[in-house]
Structure 1
Amino acid sequence: MALLSIRVTFTRKQDGCCPTHGKHYAKFTAAFPLITRTDFVYAMVYFESIDDLGHRYGPDSVHVKGMVKEVDRVIETMLRQIETRHLDDDVNVMVLSDHGMTDVSLSKVVNISDVINMDDIEVIINNYGSSVYIWPKHGKEQTVYASLENTSDYFKPFLRKDIPPQWHFQHNNRIPDILLVAQLGWYIDTVRSRHMLAGKKQQQEYHFLRQHAALTPEPCSHN
């Protein structure tokens, strides 16, 4: 796969689907020699533990705060090694986040299955409650959109052409015809996710659902 005309030349397979806690230093150790090579222009290391713990315990939990400190120490070690090897002027370090996150309680769930006719829907994908992707059947786009528009203060529908350009979420064949976005702190329920909610609440006095505050699917870190 090429990114900005640059093709990836080296990858390391993820050790299982879900996060591998305690392996941050090993990941950095494996990546560091790559950034010292003249034929490499870009190296990326993903520390997934913060994401996983956020989904499990909430973004403000002691678990997340502790893991942030651990990752911070790894970054500090990396910066020191760059400085020790006199690479300060040759290596640019960028620290990025893949998405935001907020707590969602079971008291803030809005169900859309009562306002849309499922017979008009070809495909519907609930992105863990923070957004819903809807592909209506041919000729039903405006009908489905109209049934969602001004229905609730807790979510907002967008036709694909009206999705805010700053989200960079329009020009791909995976983008739905209708995007439904929850207000921060709310969870959008559908027929499928309603059973998921009931099951989770039954398994463990389910204290909180976890919601992405951005439009990024994360299949490995959600249960």
Structure 2
Amino acid sequence: MELELFLVVAAVLCAAGKPLSKAAARNKLLLISFDGFRWDYDQDVDTPNLDQLAVDGVKAKYITPPMLTMTSPSHFTTITGRWVEDHEVVHNMMFNTSTNQKVPHKLTMSRSEWWGNGVLPLWITAQNQGLKTASFHYPGGGVKYRGQTVNRALLEELNHPDDNETEWRQNIDTVMSWFSEEDFDLVTLYYGEPDNVGHAKGPDHPDRKKIIQQIDRTLGYLREAISLHHLNDSLNVIITSDHGMTTIKKRPQVDEIILREYLNLIKLASFEILDYGGFGILTPRPGKEQEVFDALSNAPNLTVYKKNEMPENFHLGKSKRLPPIVVVADLGFNLNSRFIVYVNKGDHGFHNGEMDMKTIFRAFGPDFKKNLLSEPFDSIHIYPLMCKLLQIEPAPHNGSLTVTENMLSGGSHRARLSVALLLSMLLLMFSLL
């Protein structure tokens, strides 16, 4: 009897000494983005579920989006880990400086030629290593990359209502079923709020506070759905955003920046997008670059850059797609090229160093530490963190795992559970000796 127990104990000890296989230890990952969720939006609203997430997981003080603080460029930096000058999604609008083509933001979501510039997003990199991925309305999820598509991609329809709370919950139910019933490994889920409310009403309006409470209720529903689908021990969740929001300064408090007063656009420019929040781009006519630069330098409340002379930390200067002249307005001053009636009460696109452009980060699940407050970091570092969680080799990227690895608990819940089970077995066996 003692010999048999000894042999069993030895076998258990050997098993305990062997590392778990990657497949056994890998957990699933859900990335959720709430468009335009400024870093401090939860500080003037009662948000019990967001507060609980900080206790049950990781909260960053804030994260810094890339320069550009726009939806498509920022989301693509998160999902690729590349600076905008590398992935080349340099605006919300798809454009062609030669033909003067301009395609509105939502219509770009099915245009592979805008997104597929050689850089592979996480969906494709994960699929190439045997994982199953999906995109639910996430920017860039519905196109081809080197001929490959995301395993499952749902595109947001034009004029889609972004604030329907019932639909938000239905989307969560759908995503949970993908994980629990169809064994997806990675899903990215996008919500268009609080961006729309921030634009229409401004970040200080009571309706912005209401939509934050709606988001908080939705996150409470998410926690319930995770439990209902028995995913507590196998699903990691990262919640973030693409940019912040600031109040637009308007007359009579300030004078609007009307660029036609400083620049003859017809005479000096062959292409321009100068009526899009705080960020503008312009292609001068041949031989007119210095004249355009000098003219815009006389305009108040903005900074004009030649692309090849932009600060290196913008990570925009090497872009082949970006036009030669870039204009960034001072915080809160919208660009107006001619005299277009500007209706937005809030906007973004401003310098990513401004606190109003900073965004949120929350993370929880079996691989994350609990009750950890992280120092601020750049959103580009989320990509290597996601690759680590999915146990895949990342594609070339500009982020660093050293920035975020302190968030991780050091071992998967399954691994810890297995060790605990082995110890329990050992104690039981020794009690029988």
Task: State the TM-score, normalized to the length of structure 1.
Answer: 0.78
Distance in 2 between residues matched to 1:172 and 1:98, nearest whole Å: 20
Q: 8 Å contact 1:102–1:213 — kept in the other structure?
A: no
Deviations 1:92-132 (A, max 9, x none): 21112122211113223112212223212011112423121
Which among 121, 127, 134 is matched to residue 3 of structure 1? Answer: 121
Q: What letter corresponds to residue 117 of structure 1 in structure 2? A: N
The equivalent residue for 1:210 is 346
Query: Among the aligned pairs, what percent are the same residue?
Result: 24
Q: 1:58 to 1:38 in 2, by over 3 A?
A: same
Q: What letter corresponds to residue 10 of structure 1 in structure 2? A: R
1:113 aligns with 2:113: no
Distance in 2 between residues matched to 1:82 and 1:168, nearest whole Å: 38
Deviations 1:114-157 (A, max 9, x none): 222321201111242312111111232222112223x2451001
Shift of 1:162: 3.1
Which among 328, 331, 349 is matched to residue 181 of structure 1? Answer: 328
Shift of 1:34: 2.5
Distance in 2 between residues matched to 1:145 and 1:132, nearest whole Å: 13
Which among 130, 135, 157 is matched to residue 15 of structure 1? Answer: 157
Which among 264, 288, 301 is matched to residue 154 of structure 1? Answer: 301
The equivalent residue for 2:359 is none
Distance in 1 between residues matched to 2:301 and 2:260, nearest whole Å: 14
Which among 278, 281, 289 is matched to residue 130 of structure 1? Answer: 278
Task: For CA contacts below 8 A with separation 6 or more, give which structure has more relative contact order.
Answer: 2
Pairwise mapping of residues 1-223 of structure 1 onto structure 2 (< 5 A)?
Answer: 2-4=120-122, 5-6=124-125, 7-22=149-164, 23-36=167-180, 40-83=184-227, 85-107=229-251, 108=254, 109-118=256-265, 119-149=267-297, 151-191=298-338, 194-197=339-342, 209-214=345-350
Indicate the SS of the match to 1:106.
coil
Q: 8 Å contact 2:172–2:222 — kept in the other structure?
A: yes
Unaligned 5+ segments in structure 2 are 1-115, 126-148, 353-433
The equivalent residue for 2:379 is none
Task: State the TM-score, normalized to the length of structure 2.
Answer: 0.43
Distance in 1 between residues matched to 2:183 and 2:312, nearest whole Å: 35
Report the more deviating stretch, 32-41 or 56-65.
32-41
Indicate the SS of the match to 1:11.
strand
Q: 1:186 to 1:214 in 2, by over 3 A?
A: closer
Structure number with larger C-alpha Rg: 2
Q: What letter corresponds to residue 212 of structure 2 in structure 1? A: V
Which has a greater percent of helix? 2
Q: 1:196 to 1:153 in 2, by over 3 A?
A: closer
Distance in 1 between residues matched to 2:228 and 2:183, nearest whole Å: 21
Distance in 2 between residues matched to 1:168 and 1:195, nearest whole Å: 30
Shift of 1:18: 4.1
Q: Superposition RMSD on alpha carbons, in Å? A: 2.7
